[in-house]
Structure 1
Amino acid sequence: MLQHIGQIPAAAAVKFSDKDALVFEGKTFSFNEIHDLVERAAGGLSDLGISSSDTVTLYASNSWQWIVSYYAIARLGAVINPVNTMLTPNEIEYVVRDCGAKAIIASPEKVAGIMGVKEVSDVRAIISFGNEFEDGVVSFDALIAANIPAPELTDVDPGALSTIGYTSGTTGHPKGAMQSHRAVITNGAMTSQMQMRGELDCVVSALPCPHVYANVIMMSMMMFGSKLVLHRTFDADLVFADIAAHKATIFDGVPAMYMFMLNCPTLKDADLSSLTRCYVGGQTMPVATMESVEAAFKVPLIELWGMTEIAGLGSTHPLYGTNKHGSIGCALPYCELRIADADNAAKTMRRGEVGELMVRGPIVMMGYFNDDEKTREALEPDGWLHTGDLGTMDADGCVYIVDRKKDMILTGGYNVYPAEIERVLAAHPAVALAAVGKLPDELKGEIAKAYVVLKTGMTSTEDEMISFCRETLAAYKCPRKIQFVRDVPKTSTGKIMRRELHKLDI
């Protein structure tokens, strides 16, 4: 196996040569071309003073330049800091100061907001994609055009720091999860092993490049020769068009993407005949919706689970194994999953009992950057990582996520899980998407409230929705309020932000 991320582009060029690697907005790049661009970008970054062990922040939307930048940073033995484009300039300032970034590579629309960062941090260069630049900004295209030779490829320990990926920071400042080269490469390799991704596959994806789910897809392209058709943002019509045009074999997405695709008028005319399977992750998906996707797309929809702290996936279903809807599958090779007592991590729950999902193996982070306290809270001394997800495990070792530990609703002394209500509402024929949050209640402490997006042309009422839930759920689990909305708050990956739902209240 490759020792570090910086070796990947050259190895891909040798192995796959002029085979199509990446398609972005009508432009196609071979593996040789990507390698050449990485070498040029690495030479340009080196000329700016970036060297081994420096950290470079990558603050940009999906593009071919993002992928080239990612590997160019690693080519120098520097540390990659991929950040969510939804972060505000203030949040970016916190991140670059925390990780000591020496440079920021940004897409044009992000540059104006971060120009002041150089005055309060170690950042010495801001590099921008595109053709229009503020004073003091370095052109990424010019770096490549200068064709400055990259320095000799240095030896990098597989266990050395490769990436600092910051979490969403919904409960305070974001935390920087440190990943080794071994963790990132192992996750990409074992994901491809479980899902049998390789040279015969063409993948369409609009997942944001900074996200770990997108990272394993990119790694599959570079290490195993699959073709990636990358979209800047998600648009159902464009996804359908590219699946047909490129005869894609795989589509990767989050639940909200599939829900929009199911509700898209052009679905009935879409040519999806080339697809062999689809994958979904980022959030639990109701079984009823998964079945609707399979019926419409006529291929298996396979769930996966991962997190920033493990550099990608922690579980999925093997392609040639049983696909259990409602389950995130089993552990990746070389890794372990277990369900622990939520109040005592040393105690393992019996099969079928609810507890906190924990993961151990070479994919687990090294810790949180500059935060020993949070690291001790997340990582047990024996290497088990707390995920914050509540779940159960069946006799085959397959895990079923119940909900996020922090999203659980305590109503009248009973535990209510939003995901369970969302799964029931998703089965209603009029529902395109449902999200459940919590409201304070003087009598019960907390109650569940559902925010429902109806399918185009469909109508319903609050009473009808609550009655529908009562047919399946115990009375204490049913939402007490229903609000119909046009959309719900989502992250850049399309994950529903349950803790932001209250902002929709009327």
Structure 2
Amino acid sequence: MRGDMEWGTVPGLVRSAAERYADVEAVVEGRTRITYADLGARVERAAAACIASGVGTGDRVGIWAPNSLDWIVAALGAVSAGGVLVPLNTRFKGTEAADVLRRSGARLLFVTGTFLGTSYVASLRRAAGEGDGRGPLPGLPSLRDVVVLSEDAPVAFRTWKDFLAAGEGVGTGDVTARSAEVDGTCLSDIIFTSGTTGRPKGAMITHAQTLRAYEIWAELAGLRTGDRYLIVNPFFHTFGYKAGVIACLMRGATMIPQPVFDVATVLANIAAERVSVLPGPPTLHQSLLDHPARDAHDLSALRLVVTGAAVVPLLLVERLRGELGVETVLTAYGLSEASGIVTMCRRGDDPTVIASTSGRAIPGTEVRVDAPPGEPGEVLVRGFNVMRGYFEDPAATVQTLTADGWLRTGDVGVLDPAGNLRITDRLKDMFIVGGFNAYPAEIEQLLGLHPEVADVAVIGVPDGRLGEVGKAFVVRRAGAVLTADDLIAWARREMANYKVPRTVEFVAELPRNASGKVVKGELRGWG
């Protein structure tokens, strides 16, 4: 049955999971282990506290914190109280977070105390500045309440414990009645894009879209009760929250949130918790495969990997299957403006299809490429998954959504005769070499085949004769002695001349945002 028809809303899904999987382990965080019944009770308590704090149906609720049990409970509690979730990128500085909170008109904010050595509260206080607001941050007038997910909080802020205690006067019937005010057409969240350039824009997604999309994702991936799912993808990103938390609620899988991507910790968690499901960007799986301590850990429970990006190295799928024995490796493509999922491979697809494409359109959607058959062009998407628009930004919405419902993704891709989509690049990253269109992702994929290349990114740089030429930033594999001349000579044998980078710069690592995307703008600053 379609997810939106089975559960109606996200609070409906939470209640169903608490009943259906009552005794199944829901979340593992360090020594804390809770069942789905426990999770349902915690979410109800958080929803009661949200109601007590004045959150009304449709009010925006921000959350600025790393992956954790508290994130799951706070977020689901806010949505169960009728709130619209606004997750904030943990890589944001205070100024960026304040901008999203101001533009979204968030009434309530959940924020971590200190993360990676940074006091998020202090950072936000500095950025918010002075103003006429009556809440704890006068520079953010809509924000009436800030809850610190910690045991301590500054004056005028509340601790998580105090926040929950304030909701004890709100009964189960009140929470149920509030949840009933929400239907599938209501907004469940506003996901501010994690774009590598430009100001984030808030993609508005409904409860029905979320449930329908991630029931499809869970079915295509083969997620099942008893799976143990290590969620490294950040919850502030559509994929971490929805292909993670929401999908696990649907299937009764166990969530193991990991706040920071650290390969040694991932290996230890997989072994200790018998992790069976590990979605993530290709860099996560590549670093797992290449870690010197890999063979010291029992990774035999791992059975399902879902990955996706503009570039999925062709060898990665074979290595995951051959070296780790992973039964199912799938690739997918999505973006926040399309509920995070557009295309996906199917179990049983030929390995070459999985390695070289992002699969076919999910049911209920259409994908086309704005170019002649077999040629690269902008990818357009239409269907139930397309956002309702950008929050309070009609100009950007009109630029992105056509009158007949097509979403302009800004991605460049090619469709094969079977409908499989291969993403070749971002439209804005393409550069032109002597009249030829050069797509960095395609060049990166080819360079990534070199045995001494661990990671690579390509940008276009000005050239007096050809207009633009490619420059490659390369991370060597451990112990490699590859030179720029070696790699350029190799590239001339492997690709058309206009694609060959004219210069190569070796770096220790590539700059990536928290979603795993290479920040090309930063590379241009280096170049």
- TM-score normalised by structure 1 residue count: 0.95
153-162 or 223-232: bigger deviation: 153-162
Say whether the 8 Å CA contact 2:330–2:346 is kept in structure 1.
no
Which residue of structure 1 aligns with residue 337 of structure 2?
A: 309
Matched, 1:291 2:321: no
Gaps of 5+ in 2: 1-5, 115-119, 129-136
Query: 1:203 and 1:253 mapped to 2: Cα distance?
Result: 11
Aligned residue runs from structure 1 range 3-42, under 5 A:
3-42=8-47
Shift of 1:370: 1.0
149-158 or 118-127: bigger deviation: 149-158
Which residue of structure 1 aligns with residue 252 of structure 2?
A: 225
Which residue of structure 2 aligns with residue 467 of structure 1?
A: 489
Say whether the 8 Å CA contact 2:52–2:166 is kept in structure 1.
no
Query: 1:138 and 1:60 mapped to 2: Cα distance?
Result: 15
Say whether the 8 Å CA contact 1:198–1:220 is kept in structure 2.
no
Say whether the 8 Å CA contact 1:288–1:423 is kept in structure 2.
no
Gaps of 5+ in 1: 342-348
Shift of 1:442: 2.4
Which residue of structure 2 aligns with residue 256 of structure 1?
A: 283
TM-superposition CA deviations, 1:357-405 (whole Å, max 9, x none): 1111111100011111111111112211111111111121111111111
AA aligned to 1:487 is: E
Partner residue of 2:180 out of 129, 132, 154: 154
Which residue of structure 2 aligns with residue 192 of structure 1?
A: 218
Shift of 1:485: 0.7
AA aligned to 1:49 is: G
For the residue of structure 2 that corresponds to 1:312, the secondary structure is coil
Which residue of structure 2 aligns with residue 345 of structure 1?
A: none
81-90 or 289-298: bigger deviation: 289-298
Shift of 1:21: 1.1
Partner residue of 1:211 out of 219, 234, 237: 237
Cα gap change, 1:282 to 1:41, in 2 (>3 Å): farther
TM-superposition CA deviations, 1:107-165 (whole Å, max 9, x none): 11211111253222211111111122222111112223455235333232211222111
For the residue of structure 1 that corresponds to 2:480, the secondary structure is coil
Query: 1:283 and 1:251 mapped to 2: Cα distance?
Result: 19
TM-superposition CA deviations, 1:256-288 (whole Å, max 9, x none): 112222221012333221122211124421213
- TM-score normalised by structure 2 residue count: 0.91
Aligned residue runs from structure 1 range 327-346, under 5 A:
327-341=357-371
Aligned residue runs from structure 1 range 379-418, under 5 A:
379-418=401-440
Shift of 1:185: 1.1
For the residue of structure 2 that corresponds to 1:193, the secondary structure is helix
Query: 1:316 and 1:131 mapped to 2: Cα distance?
Result: 42
Matched, 1:103 2:115: no
Instruction: Using the aligned pairs only, state the percent identity.
Output: 31
Which residue of structure 2 aligns with residue 344 of structure 1?
A: none
AA aligned to 2:362 is: L
Say whether the 8 Å CA contact 1:59–1:107 is kept in structure 2.
yes
Partner residue of 1:120 out of 119, 139, 142: 139
Which residue of structure 2 aligns with residue 140 of structure 1?
A: 160
152-161 or 453-462: bigger deviation: 152-161
AA aligned to 2:416 is: D
Residues matched between the structures, number: 497
For the residue of structure 2 that corresponds to 1:126, the secondary structure is strand
Shift of 1:302: 1.5
Query: 1:256 and 1:336 mapped to 2: Cα distance?
Result: 29
